[in-house]
Structure 1
Amino acid sequence: MAGAAAAAGDAAAAESGRANLPEGLPDLVRRGIEEFNKGEFFECHEYLEDAWMEESGRVRFLYQGILQVGVGFYHQQNGNWRGATGVLRSGIERLHEFEPETLGLDVAKLVRDSERCLEELERLGRNRVREFDATGIPKVEPSG
């Protein structure tokens, strides 16, 4: 019975965006990623922007890249094709520096999955941006 309860807890954590994020992430980053993984991209932006502004090291650009990918999906959700494709592209470019993994996060997978979404948005074009299949939006996941 304990195994079923643990599995249910793992499922609930995954649903809320907290599934197995690496230890040691700054709180603002963890909270931003949790919001990203729930599809709450405006809130994700708020947390990651604060983390980005507080950090002086190069890792701040990892935070910025995740933030930009999230903002791209926010624009898609609001029917803004130009904003979606432009900011998503910028975020992907920013994240390349941190592949394959940084801070225990699977940056390479986030980049690959985001590139697939960008290709789909470009294929759909401006007039069909709302037809994008949001089930393909990636999650920020732990490496390994």
Structure 2
Amino acid sequence: MLRGIEELNAGRFFEQHETLELLWRDTTAPVRGLYHGILQVGVGLYHWSRWTPGTAKSDHHGASVLLAEGTRRLEPFAPECHGIDVAGLIRDATALREELLRLGPERMGERDLAGALTIRVRG
């Protein structure tokens, strides 16, 4: 789990997806929802990071949906779960989604996603 969080924090969204998907698939409820939520937030950022003119609408929609779905899945685990600051993650992912919606599909590439999200882990 920590490896996936480190990858997400470093902006390596594709790698985070690969790492956390394996963990998510091998985990049972209820903590599976935590992993799924983090995974979806990271994949939403991956969609956003892939923006290129001409693909804007699909990337914008995918990023928006995944950020929203990821935060929804994380809500039952707030404020903290397994040392992860879930409330902070929800707040930051929600703010990023709001920024994405403000930018719209044509301007979403203006946002540099390096350091855009940092998941804090206690311990």
Verify same fold: TM over 0.5. Answer: yes
Partners in 1 of 2:109 and 2:95 — Cα distance? 16
Which has the higher relative contact order, 1 or 2, with Cα contacts under 8 A spaced 6 or more apart?
A: 2
Give RMSD over aligned pairs: 1.4
Alignment map for 1:1-144 (pairs within 5 Å): 29-79=1-51, 80-135=59-114, 137-143=116-122
Cα distance in 2 between the residues matched to 1:119 and 1:143: 27
Amino acid at match of 1:126: P
Shift of 1:57: 2.6
The DSSP-based 3-state class of the residue aligned with 1:137 is coil
Runs of 4+ in 1 over 6 A off after TM superposition: none
Name the TM-score, length of structure 1 as normaliser. 0.76
Change in Cα spacing, 1:136 to 1:31, as seen in structure 2 (3 Å) is closer
Cα-to-partner distance string for 1:103-130 (whole Å, 9 max, x where unaligned)? 0110000100111100000001111110
Letter of the aligned partner of 1:71 in structure 2? V
The percent of aligned pairs where both chains have the same amino acid is 48
Are the aligned partners of 1:117 and 1:136 in contact in 2 as well (CA < 8 Å)?
A: no
Query: Which ranges of structure 2 fall in alignment gaps of 5 or more residues?
Result: 52-58
Contact 1:101 1:143 (C-alpha < 8 Å) held by counterparts:
no
Aligned residues: 116
TM-score when scaled to structure 2? 0.88
